[in-house]
Structure formats: structure tokens, C-alpha cells
């Protein structure tokens, strides 16, 4: 299993954001994308997800991918459980149940609550539960710590560690310090520094 970037460049709005990014992650490995606001961290995650074509280079992912992005895309009127079950069916989940995923993010007690009643941090945690419930081996996490309290950040770190222990791959873009032991750091520098 692997996720690899080979000499990837990214253009947005006619501007080169970054150039020549190469890395490879094998089973159990992780990488953190760092760099200042606007340097292209989210864009790199979107390229990894296949949502944005690279301007140059190539990306290969040998397994199914789950993406944690800003919008959780859950129906506000459905309950948390229903919303997650909907996505689990579409994501082709196998092995992990919605109840287990909610438990993993500490939200088992809110399974029957409509999504519209959740706080910002709780929505983020439900979005993370969707990633867990997808059963996908490769996790792409865009600012997974945003809006989380410290207990939730600890849970997130434990989830990432468990996923890697099970042979999963994690690529995360984050401003906040996250404990991801042994992760590679992918530093994006703006074009003025390239």
C-alpha cells in the first residue's frame, strides 16, 4: 500500500503555489504538511484526493482514500447516526460500524441528535467519524485539529496512531501542533522562496 507524490507542482488562479514536491508513504507511515497561510497545504490535500489535478508530476494511491475537509456535508435535519450511515454506505465502508466510529470520536451519546444541533467542534468530530467509518486505508486530513478542545485533540492523535498501527497511511495538513510520532514533514514554501 502506498501514497506517493512525484515532482508535483500546483497552480491556482494562474499562479504557481508550489513545485517539485515528492514523498512516498507506505503502510503505517504519516506525513504532515506545514507552511504559512496560503502556501497551498489544502491544495496539496485536494491533489492527493484527486479533486485537483497537479500542474506537473503525478500522484499514485494504491488504496481507497478518505478525506477530512472543511465541510462535513452532512444533512442538517438528519440525526448524526443517519448522516454517518448514509456516507458509510456510499464510501463502501467495511469492518467499522457507525457506532464504533462515533465512539472513537467520543460522540456516542449524540448519535440520535440532529446534525443542526451540533457545535462547531462536534461537527468536526462527526466529520472525523465519517473518515473512521469509511474504513479507507489512506486518510487525508485537512486541518483535523481545527475547532477541537484539548481532549478531542488527544482523541484525534490516538485515532491517527491506531490507524497507523493497523497499517493505515495518514497525510495531514495542520497549523496546530499534532503529536504524530515519526511523521515526515512536507514543508511548502511560497514561490518567492523557491
Ligand X SMILES: Nc1ncnc2c1ncn2[C@@H]1O[C@H](COP(=O)(O)OP(=O)(O)OP(=O)(O)O)[C@@H](O)[C@H]1O
Q: Whose Cβ is closer to ligand X: residue 68's or residue 110's?
A: 68
Smallest distance from the beta carbon of 17 to ligand X, in angstroms? 5
Q: How far is CA 48 from CA 4, 35, 62, 100, 151, in A?
A: 9, 17, 12, 27, 29
What are the residues binding ligand X (CB under 6 A)? 12-13, 17, 35, 37-43
- Residue 66 sits at the vertex; the CA angle it makes with 132 and 117, to the nearest 5 degrees, is 60
Closer of 98 and 172 to ligand X (Cβ): 172
- In sequence order, which ranges of 74-149 are alpha helices (DSSP H)? 80-91, 98-104, 120-134
Beta bridge partners of 37: none
Q: What are the beta bridge partners of residue 24?
A: 4
For residue 143, the minimal CB distance to ligand X (Å) is: 7
Q: Residue 60 CA to chain centroid, in angstroms?
A: 17
Residue closer to ligand X, measured from CB, 39 or 102: 39
d(CA 124, CA 102): 12
To the nearest whole angstrom, how small is the minimum distance from the Cβ of residue 130 to ligand X?
A: 20
In whole angstroms, the minimum distance from the beta carbon of 21 to ligand X comes to 13
Q: Which residue lies nearer to ligand X by CB, 13 or 95?
A: 13
Amino acid at each position: 500500500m502506498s501514497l506517493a507524490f512525484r515532482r508535483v507542482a500546483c497552480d491556482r488562479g494562474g499562479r504557481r503555489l508550489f513545485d517539485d514536491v515528492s514523498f512516498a508513504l507506505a503502510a503505517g507511515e504519516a506525513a504532515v504538511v506545514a507552511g504559512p497561510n496560503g502556501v497551498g497545504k489544502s491544495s496539496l490535500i485536494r491533489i492527493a484526493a484527486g479533486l485537483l489535478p497537479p500542474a506537473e508530476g503525478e500522484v499514485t494511491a494504491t488504496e481507497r482514500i478518505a478525506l477530512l475537509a472543511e465541510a462535513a456535508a452532512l444533512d442538517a435535519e438528519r440525526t448524526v447516526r443517519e448522516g454517518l450511515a448514509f456516507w458509510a454506505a456510499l464510501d463502501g465502508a467495511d469492518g467499522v460500524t457507525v457506532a464504533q466510529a462515533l465512539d472513537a470520536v467520543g460522540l456516542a451519546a449524540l448519535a440520535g441528535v440532529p446534525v443542526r444541533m451540533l457545535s462547531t467542534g462536534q461537527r468536526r468530530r462527526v466529520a472525523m467519524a465519517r473518515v473512521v467509518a469509511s474504513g479507507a486505508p489512506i486518510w487525508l486530513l485537512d486541518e483535523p485539529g481545527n475547532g477541537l478542545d484539548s481532549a478531542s485533540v488527544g482523541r484525534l492523535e490516538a485515532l491517527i496512531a491506531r490507524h497507523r498501527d493497523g497499517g493505515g497511511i495518514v497525510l495531514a495538513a495542520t497549523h496546530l501542533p499534532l503529536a504524530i510520532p515519526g511523521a515526515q514533514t512536507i514543508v511548502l514554501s511560497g514561490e518567492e522562496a523557491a
